[in-house]
Amino acid sequence: MEGLLKRGMTKEEAAAYCGCQTLAAFDQWRAKGIVPDAIPGTNRWDRKAIDLALDAASGLVTESERELSPFQRWVAENAATKTQAA
């Protein structure tokens, strides 16, 4: 299926997705903990896991926010908005 955005990516695809020009650069990011390793027992990288890792590395999401489910984050964000409005 052309145009389908795969969730499980090869190492080459994951590196390109991250913007790494070489596999060596991608390996350096992995060694530094910027991006996760492959899904255990596979040679595939999870697109969503990479997104979460890059969000955390860039400061878009804190460690405590990563531990919350999307619903829990929504509740926390809406509670903060209500508190500010009061």
The H-or-E segment that residue 84 falls in is helix 70-85
User: What is the Cα–Cα distance from 54 to 56, expressed in whole angstroms?
Assistant: 5
- Top pLDDT among 80 and 33 is at 33
Give tens-digit pLDDT for 26-58.
999 999 999 999 999 999 999 999 998 999 898
Domain boundaries, the chain: 8-85
Tell the residue number behind the tokens 């590395």, with chain if given. Answer: 57
- pLDDT on residue 15: 98
Assess contact for 76 and 68: CB atoms under 8 A. yes
- pLDDT on residue 74: 78
- pLDDT on residue 61: 72
- Please report the sign of the dihedral spanned by the C-alpha atoms of residue 67, residue 68, residue 69, residue 70: negative
Give tens-digit pLDDT for 4-30.
889 999 999 999 999 999 999 999 999
Give tens-digit pLDDT for 52-75.
899 989 888 766 666 767 777 778
Assess contact for 26 and 38: CB atoms under 8 A. no
